[in-house]
Amino acid sequence: MTDSPEARTPNIVDIHVGGRVRIRRKMLRVSQETLADALGLTFQQVQKYERGANRVSASKLYEIAKTLQVPVSFFFDGLADPMTDEVDEVGAAAERVVTEFLNTPEGLELAEMFPKIGRGRVRRQVLDLVRAMADDADKA
């Protein structure tokens, strides 16, 4: 076993799978503690899975999928096809944006609330406000 920096860097697939676990858990409004209890783990182990710091075994991923009520394939959505290494670049970029957004504490709640704004004009005004705020942040 080596202590090289590469050995300590989480694998991109582990990070992706962990991020998908986190998104699904948050979509269901399940705490890390609740998920950990259902899986016979500590919440720290769930945290490490979600960060990609620890790899999820096949059997544990199966249990997670069952607990979070999704097919196992859900955790791999957005990754390159391992048989061809082909990536839908547009789809992958969109997946990254959505994942980053939903992984923020406010992102999931905002994503749930936004469609509830019934009037398209008001939704566009909210979007304009967010754009203006982001532009100000870029200039600062």
The domain containing residue 125 runs over which residues? 109-140
The token pair at 68 is 């979070």
The alpha carbon dihedral of 77, 83, 87, 91 has a sign of negative
Domain match, 94 and 114 both:
no
Number of domains in the chain: 2
pLDDT at 14: 93
Q: What are the tens digits of pLDDT across the range 113-128?
A: 888 888 889 989 998 9
Map tokens 């490490």 to a residue: 48
86 vs 53: which has the higher pLDDT: 53
Where residue 60 falls among pLDDT bands split at 50, 70, 90? very high
pLDDT of 4 strictly over 70: no
Q: Is the CB of residue 101 less than 8 Å from the CB of residue 27? A: no
Domain match, 117 and 69 both:
no
d(CA 78, CA 108): 19
Q: What is the mean pLDDT of residues 30-46?
A: 96
